């Protein structure tokens, strides 16, 4: 199979927002990376790297198996609440973790033809630099928390969930930091090509404008069509996650508005995890 070039796809996930909302349009943009994973020979990877990859695959398989566990069992409850925690991980973090795992070959950023290229470039640069700084800070915090979370091991009846979660998040921040550095390097060396996509624009233009409390989020049909048109099977999942996180932010905003009468939504899409 031929190696695929690296593509970063950018698209808004709303058709319309309340006119009185104090938020930039960029707060409702989502990005997704797709391409080929580098293939290494046994000699090109260290022993530690190979064992770490095997361990990661094993943990992922075991976690997937937990989805079939009885709902009231310990394993079923861990999976249920674990999924809730994972759903709060910012969508941008998934982007940079994917970038870390993909081969940098003929990198291209595709965006709707209705957007202004300078605004897209500024958004991508700001996001990459901000996330690089964030993940550096979070790595330091996770490392500092390791000794404290290890203390939970003194209770032998229960698994050390805080320690396992902290290790998982430490790994996520390390891979996301590597992906952010890759993107910053592409920007600094001017190797990322920006391309206006008529295909993305056509899908957006066909999206139904069904408003809920002034918002018109991207529906499932549009998300699936976007992934099909762009030949990016996982894009629909990324857009669904972005929509859900924005809906959570909007619900919080709506409750606070009902108390204070203030209609201000924080700029950006970070949900710290």
Q: For the segment 120-137, what is each residue's pLDDT rounded down to a tens digit?
A: 999 999 999 999 999 999
Query: Which pLDDT belongs to residue 254?
Result: 52
* Contact yes or no for 112/262 (Cβ under 8 A): no
Q: What is the pLDDT of residue 158?
A: 61
> Does the reported pTM lie above 0.75?
yes
pLDDT of 268 reads: 40
The pLDDT of residue 202: 95
**pLDDT, tens only, 3-26:** 789 999 999 999 887 777 777 888
Sheet holding 193-197, edge to edge: 29-34, 7-12, 108-112, 193-197
pLDDT at res. 48: 61
pLDDT at 224: 95
pLDDT reported for residue 239: 95
Low-confidence ranges of the chain (pLDDT < 50): 252, 256-273
Q: What is the pLDDT of residue 272?
A: 37
């Amino acid at each position: 199979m031929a190696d695929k070039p690296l593509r970063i796809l950018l698209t808004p996930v709303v058709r319309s927002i309340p006119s009185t909302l104090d938020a930039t349009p960029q707060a409702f943009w989502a990005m997704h990376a797709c391409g080929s994973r580098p293939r290494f020979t046994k000699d090109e990877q260290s022993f530690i790297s190979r064992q770490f990859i095997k361990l990661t695959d094993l943990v992922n398989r075991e976690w997937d198996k937990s989805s079939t566990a009885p709902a009231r069992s310990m394993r079923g409850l861990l999976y249920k609440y674990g999924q809730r925690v994972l759903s709060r991980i910012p969508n941008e973090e998934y982007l940079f973790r994917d970038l870390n795992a993909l081969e940098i070959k003929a990198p291209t950023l595709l965006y709707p033809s209705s957007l202004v290229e300078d605004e897209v470039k500024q958004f991508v640069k700001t996001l990459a630099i901000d996330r690089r700084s964030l993940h550096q800070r979070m790595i330091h915090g996770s490392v500092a928390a390791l000794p404290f979370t290890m203390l939970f091991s003194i209770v032998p009846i229960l698994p050390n969930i805080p320690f396992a979660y902290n290790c998982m998040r430490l790994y996520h921040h390390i891979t996301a930091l590597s992906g952010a550095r890759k993107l910053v390097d592409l920007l600094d060396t001017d190797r990322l090509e920006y391309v206006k996509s008529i295909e993305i624009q056509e899908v957006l233009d066909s999206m139904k404008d069904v408003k809920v409390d002034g918002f018109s989020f991207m529906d499932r049909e549009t998300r699936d069509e976007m992934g099909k048109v762009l030949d990016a099977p996982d894009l629909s999942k990324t857009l669904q996650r972005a929509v859900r996180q924005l809906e959570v932010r909007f619900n919080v905003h709506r409750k606070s508005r009902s108390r204070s009468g203030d209609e201000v939504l924080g700029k950006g899409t970070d949900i710290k995890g």
